[in-house]
Amino acid sequence: MVNKIRISVVVQGTDASDLVLTPLIFKLEDVERARKLGVCGILAGTLPTAAQQNMFLSVPLKLMAEEAIWLFLSGHAEVVHLRSPTSSLIGNLIKENLESLQAANESKLQESFRLQRQFKVEQHRLKLESLGRLPPGGELPHDPQIDSLIDSSLFVETANSSSILSKLSSKQQQDGCIDAQIINCMIANYSNWDNYLLYQSLRENGYVLSPGARFGGLYIAYPGDPLRYHSHITVQPAIDYYKEGIDLTLLTSGARLGTSVKKMWVIGGVKNYGTKQEELRKPKAPADVSFFSIEWAGFG
């Protein structure tokens, strides 16, 4: 069975008024898998090999609430949530598992050193070969100076994803009910269910969505992976189009903006039949979601 994508989330507060922090992904493989599923997120960590710019960043990957929920509801991801104060959680995990964690860390470190030494020695040998100072396939003589040089240049890696958290008991990790509650909190903290329905509907139509506030919308939609395509849609927050109106000034400026950044201005709505508040919380049928686009005509 393939492991699910792991989304880490910190939950703050008591059960009654939970505040959920941004959902994050740390494993590179998970970032890749999410991307292939159409969830791109926003990379937010410094890229150590090009640390003085903000355009290309590394993990953690920050997810929109909609993205995290979509991955969870579609069965691709598990949401590992950790209740604050997390420092005591980590402190306790370390205390309880100190020896095994240390042993694991030490063996990983030594293995990494071993591979590095092996690689560097081989590189050194190849260099001497190419310089003609060693016959091809020849043995490298033992040289303490080279050894110490290699030792001091060994790289100690800071891992991206946590080994400490892997010590969480299976009971602590898998608890389906709590996940659903976390989902509700996430939506309540950052978005709403109508917007989620828009997200879901657009995803079903093959679009990849990213945060869109700087383009004057809720999301921007790409026809595929953002690495290859420009986005050509700006999606507005959901409205109940049977009842709510659209402000004409907003419409004009939105259409004008759309023209200048070459994106279509799209507004989506969810049909609310006036059902009870509780029912509104659950995802509804896709047929209830409609989209409209507005263009500035005659503009060339």
Choose one: 135-143, 188-196, 238-246, 283-291; the region binding another protein (CB under 8 A). 188-196
Q: Are 31 and 41 in contact (CB under 8 A)?
A: yes
Choose one: 95-103, 137-145, 173-181, 279-287; the region binding another protein (CB under 8 A). 95-103
Q: Which of 283, 288, 254, 257 is nearest to 271 (CA)?
A: 288
User: Is 2 among the residues that bind another protein (CB under 8 A)?
Assistant: no
Cis peptide before 286 (omega within 30 of 0): no
Cα 239 from Cα 272, distance rounded (Å) = 10
Q: Are 104 and 163 in contact (CB under 8 A)?
A: yes
The residue from 34, 39, 165, 266 that contacts another protein (CB under 8 A) is 165
Segment 100 to 159, residues that bind another protein, using CB under 8 A: 101-102, 105, 115-116, 119-120, 123, 151-159
Query: Which lies closer to another protein via its Cβ, residue 57 or residue 288?
Result: 57
Query: Which lies closer to another protein via its Cβ, residue 76 or residue 124?
Result: 124
Residues 6+ apart with CB under 8 A from 292: 241, 266, 267, 268, 269
Site string for another protein, 64-93 (x = CB under 8 A): xx----------------x-xxxxxxxx--
The residue from 96, 98, 175, 295 that contacts another protein (CB under 8 A) is 98
Cα 212 from Cα 197, distance rounded (Å) = 16
DSSP state of 138: P
Query: Which lies closer to another protein via its Cβ, residue 95 or residue 133?
Result: 95
User: Is 174 among the residues that bind another protein (CB under 8 A)?
Assistant: no
Token pair of 109 as six digits: 């470190």
Cα 184 from Cα 91, distance rounded (Å) = 29
Choose one: 31-39, 70-78, 124-132, 275-283; the region binding another protein (CB under 8 A). 31-39
Q: How many residues does the chain have?
A: 300
Segment 231 to 290, residues that bind another protein, using CB under 8 A: 236-237, 249-250, 252-254, 256-257, 260-261
Segment 211 to 230, residues that bind another protein, using CB under 8 A: 211-218, 224-230
SS3 268: strand
Query: Which lies closer to another protein via its Cβ, residue 45 or residue 288?
Result: 45
Enumerate the active-site residues. 222, 230, 263
SS3 211: strand
